[in-house]
Structure 1
Amino acid sequence: EKPTAENTKETKIVSPLYGHNENGLVKREAVLMGSQFVFIAEGDNKIVIDAIKKATEAIRQVEALVSSWKPGSEVYLLNQHAGEFIKISQHTLHLLKLAKTAHKETQGAFDITIGAVWDLYPFRDSSKPIPSDLQIQEKLQFVNASKIEIDEARSMAKIPENMKINMGGIAKGYAAGIAIEVMKQKGIQNAAISAGGDTYLLGKKSTGAWKISIENPRWEGRSLEQFLAANMSVATSSDSKRYIMRNGKRYGHILDPRTGKPANDAQSVTIITQNPTLADAYATAVYVMGATEGLKWVEKRADVEALIVDANGDVHKSSGWDNVIGKK
């Protein structure tokens, strides 16, 4: 999918629009990976601006490697040369390994090889019809991330013929994690990066923790939950921004890799965990699972908490959610 700059702010940092060194915070915005990235950091003005610049450059480098629509990217080449081993960078290799891990951990609810099925839908081309069950089944046989082969010794990877990978559900989290590391190396101790529905927090402001807001998926601008947070990743998957309507039916852009059809058992899912890459992937996976199956999965993991809005608009929280956000 060729992304566009989206106004996706299902999870966001609540703060004024800080300018240069106002209240000790510097804010910058950039369109990266098809989303609006917001960087806010605290410290010496010159050091912070340089750190954000370097972080932005690092994200662009990752994007150039893992974009599925940019000719010449490593993911593009993997798709174009399906059935052959392709030389890849450490970034792409690491992302493929994480994607395979997330696929296994979620029993297939997260799968970067959904590309062949996703392309059947009119998410990019509105003139396309909704695919038939037969068309979906024909492409569904090529969806299985466990079949991605990785040769770490030679830094190469291969996907089966007719398979197509798309890093959309995991790459932003990975890139933001890389950006945070770059900023830490530049001496930044307190920063926040927001990328669409995902927020990554390093430390906290000198005036206190970062304030996070989760948007109501059916009421733009209305918050479901607000809380203070530091040193964590908060990722939201939702159908509130990206969907199409056909004959009165809503088709969200997040597909269930097990059926090839839009996941429809949730309106939004917010995940809290430490690793930004996995937060991104888990939010997608739990959205696909839905409230009942998703909460059962989250409760088995001590390192993950979730807030789920089910298909009826009812809110469900994992047992440790309120503890993590400081409401208990």
Structure 2
Amino acid sequence: MKGKLSRRDFIRITAIGAGILAVGGITLKELLVEPELKAYTETRALLGTFITIKVIDTDEGRAEDMVRSTFTEINRLSGILSRFDPTSQLYRLNKTGQIMNASGELVEVMVKSVQYAELTSGAFDVTVLPMLELNSESFQKHNTPPSTGDIAEVKSLVDYRMINISGKDITLAKTGAGITLDSIAKGYIVDMAAGLLKDRGNDNVMVEAGGDMSLSGTSQDGDPWKIGVANPRNNGYCQIINSGGGAIATSGDYEAAFTSDYRYHHIIDPRVGLSPVDLSSTTVLAGNTTSADALATACMVMGKDEALALIENLPDTEALIIDKNLNSYRTSGFPTE
């Protein structure tokens, strides 16, 4: 991520003589004091992870209503973009290789996915699903990575240029190809949820889904939000960031590892067919969570040097990269400790 009105400071009235000037039975201090800010937080299991929404408002009941109606919208979007839900549009696209008259949300995410694939020269590629499934099955059955021959056979199905989008119609050029939006849909849904809350008049909001986070305004005490960047090898944090708004996403080998040494995990280099070997985690700050989500995954695949060069050239975007030896590298604008 690359102003806030403090609500902590109460107006002080200097008493004259023995007491405070009262108006109509109510002290002037009581008339001028700002309403107390309250926080309403709710967490639900959705999209294969936990989603948390926190709203800061003077009316806790109103905040609760906003949060619950936002979860209704998240459920609707999940029903479009989930690859696991047999009723979703993405599931139908993967099953049949095409979907006609797709929803605007699916089209938008697919268009953005192709754009990020082009930006990263294929390091980010949502057609990696067959290769991800190959790796997952190989480790589940044999506890080993897939063979060179198996990778070569599946590799022909992985190429973002096989995605054809014409208006609201989406087709995949090869039978057996498949799409995973795991590395962009969460960020997109977080953005949509945060935008909905802002449209309803709340400026102090945190929406988080599995490490993808959108922030606006301030926390309950009127200070900037404090965000912990996870240490990829323990339950602590490697850095705390103060943020008054924007988006942050982290992608790491520890999130769903196939092996205990984190050598093989759920992030697959679509150009190679196996997990990238250099990095433990990447954290990206950006203007929106969709970008942060996609770029965090791309950086994991690209490796330190290529990733840092990419992020340095993107406006309003910064990155923290941690390698397998837990050495940290930052772009020039990433907050220092």
Q: Please tell me the TM-score bracket, short chain as reference.
A: 0.7 to 0.9
1:227/1:142 CA distance change after superposition, 3 Å: same
1:201/1:159 CA distance change after superposition, 3 Å: same
Alignment partners' CA distance in 2, 1:87 and 1:71: 18
SS in 1 for 2:44: strand
Partner of 2:263: 250
Partner of 1:94: 108
TM-score, scaled relative to structure 1:
0.87
Alignment partners' CA distance in 2, 1:189 and 1:93: 28
How many Å apart are 1:249 and its aligned residue? 7.1
User: For the Cα contact (< 8 Å) 1:169–1:284, is it kept in 2?
Assistant: yes
Alignment partners' CA distance in 1, 2:91 and 2:36: 42
User: For the Cα contact (< 8 Å) 1:150–1:156, is it kept in 2?
Assistant: yes
1:224/1:22 CA distance change after superposition, 3 Å: farther
TM-score, scaled relative to structure 2:
0.84
User: Identity of paired residues, percent?
Assistant: 29
Alignment partners' CA distance in 2, 1:307 and 1:232: 16
Which of 244, 249, 266 does residue 230 from structure 1 map onto? Answer: 244
User: For the Cα contact (< 8 Å) 2:139–2:258, is it kept in 1?
Assistant: no
Which of 57, 69, 77 does residue 54 from structure 1 map onto? Answer: 69
Which of 125, 133, 140 does residue 148 from structure 2 map onto? Answer: 133
Which of 125, 148, 166 does residue 111 from structure 1 map onto? Answer: 125
Which of 177, 183, 187 does residue 191 from structure 2 map onto? Answer: 177
User: For the Cα contact (< 8 Å) 1:123–1:244, is it kept in 2?
Assistant: no
Partner of 2:172: 159
Query: For residue 315 of structure 1, what is the amino acid of its counterpart?
Result: S
SS in 1 for 2:310: helix
Alignment partners' CA distance in 1, 2:95 and 2:116: 24
Which of 250, 259, 268 does residue 281 from structure 2 map onto? Answer: 268
Stretches of structure 2 that go unaligned for 5 or more consecutive residues are 1-34
Structure number, greater radius of gyration: 2
Stretches of structure 1 that go unaligned for 5 or more consecutive residues are 1-20
Alignment partners' CA distance in 1, 2:201 and 2:247: 20
1:123/1:198 CA distance change after superposition, 3 Å: farther
User: For the Cα contact (< 8 Å) 1:78–1:86, is it kept in 2?
Assistant: no
The alignment covers a number of residue pairs equal to 299
Q: Does 1:303 align with 2:300?
A: no
How many Å apart are 1:197 and its aligned residue? 1.4
Alignment partners' CA distance in 1, 2:244 and 2:186: 19
Partner of 2:255: 241
Alignment partners' CA distance in 2, 1:59 and 1:92: 14
Alignment partners' CA distance in 2, 1:171 and 1:40: 20
User: For the Cα contact (< 8 Å) 2:263–2:277, is it kept in 1?
Assistant: no
Query: For residue 233 of structure 1, what is the amino acid of its counterpart?
Result: A
Alignment partners' CA distance in 2, 1:185 and 1:28: 19
How many Å apart are 1:229 and its aligned residue? 0.2
SS in 2 for 1:277: helix
How many Å apart are 1:50 and its aligned residue? 1.1
Query: For residue 215 of structure 2, what is the amino acid of its counterpart?
Result: L
Alignment partners' CA distance in 2, 1:68 and 1:201: 27
Partner of 1:146: 161
SS in 2 for 1:76: helix
Alignment partners' CA distance in 1, 2:209 and 2:96: 31
Q: State the Cα RMSD in Å.
A: 1.9
User: For the Cα contact (< 8 Å) 1:33–1:172, is it kept in 2?
Assistant: yes
